Amino acid sequence: MGFKLISLFLLLPLLTFLILSTADQALASDKKLHESRRNRTGLTGSGRVKIAALKGRKQTSDCNLFQGRWVFDASYPFYDPSTCPFIDGEFDCLKFGRPDKQFLKYSWQPDSCTIPRFDGQGFLNKWRGKRVMFVGDSLSQNMWESLGCMIHASVPGTKTTFIKRTPVSSLIFQEYGVTIYLYRTPYLVDISKESVGRVLNLGTIEGGADVWKDMDILVFNSWHWWLHKGVELQGWDYIRNGSSLNRDMDRLDAFNKGITTWAQWVDQNVNISQTRVFFQGISPTHYMGKEWNEPRNSCNGQMQPLSGSTYPGGSLPAASIVSRVLSSMKTPVYLLDITTLSQLRKDAHPSTYGADGGTDCSHWCLPGLPDTWNQLLYAALSM
């Protein structure tokens, strides 16, 4: 393919991005910086893992990163939340009064290997001039803010540009030309306005998907919103399933169809010579203590993770759907299989210590568990 054709392929999604997100001058300048650097650098040498080996797998080499246990580690956490300017109140548990800090002192130890410790400056040097995007719901936001804080702690003096918008937010580490984006779209598939109202279309991905094509690393996530009930909470009035328009349907079936549509979009649109694709596995909740043999409890007041490597409540059906869909794809998508290790962390939620009030057993404190998710992402990119 000629240079002119490659340039055209890269420029079209960027122009679409500018229109969709109405980015300001700083973001436009960042686009030009990344584009020029992308023409000079590629995913080669030590910056690239054998992509074919990752298809449908949860591990690199002989190391299963996701089978292991939590151990006490006095060197944690990676950062002080009071010095990180990127944390939303709903995740800032210490700021909103959480009295215990033991939940910050656990590291994930795989059974068969050791995870490389996260090096924020090393990450910036390795991915200099590149773009990383988290695509999904508030769990993607949890992970995005975590990565920003982890990197910032390694290079606290570097200049950053932090822009929060809907649907696209960005954090730019200016000296390195590295931009970390968040694209909020809880279902991945489209919600469109039609004459009947808001329609969740299980078969289409059009709104903003062209933005995703231009990234060097994509980390997708979806699940929690598929369980929301009621038109206000779920954000749609009808579901379009093929030729059928329904008030509702089985949510697992809907999730399966939506993720299959996403998988088809990835297979048809992602250039794997440029883009590494990850799927952030299903993040669990801890509202029902019966799952870990404490039937009267929720995450509120929990101060320690569960011991061992298995969760009494068993696996999640949504996780099985994700694994099955990824294994059927022609594009190599790396599954960050964080479900079980996160199930063990009943202690790591904001519970009542968040800006939004109430009891939150869905999201995670920062610092906290999402830092481990990012350490595992770093390991998958490095090993």
Enzyme catalytic residues: 138, 360, 363
C-alpha to C-alpha distance for 168 and 207, rounded to whole angstroms: 12
131 φ, ψ (degrees, to nearest 5): -125, 130
Rounded to 5°, the CA angle 278-281-287 comes to 155
Q: Which two structure tokens, joined as six digits, stand for 370?
A: 């999402």
Q: Which two structure tokens, joined as six digits, stand for 362?
A: 């869905």
CB atoms within 10 A of CB 299: 22
C-alpha to C-alpha distance for 79 and 382, rounded to whole angstroms: 21
Q: Which two structure tokens, joined as six digits, stand for 295?
A: 């039937």
Instruction: Give the β-pairing of 333-336 and 168-173.
Output: unpaired
Check the CA dihedral 142-104-382-316 and report its sign. negative
Q: In terms of C-beta density within 10 A (0-12 exposed, 13-18 middle, 19 or more buried), how is residue 291 classed?
A: middle
The candidate with the shortest Cα–Cα distance to 120, out of 336, 382, 383, 364, is: 382
DSSP one-letter string for 156-199? TTS-EEEE--SSEEEEEETTTTEEEEEEE-TTSSEEEEETTEEE
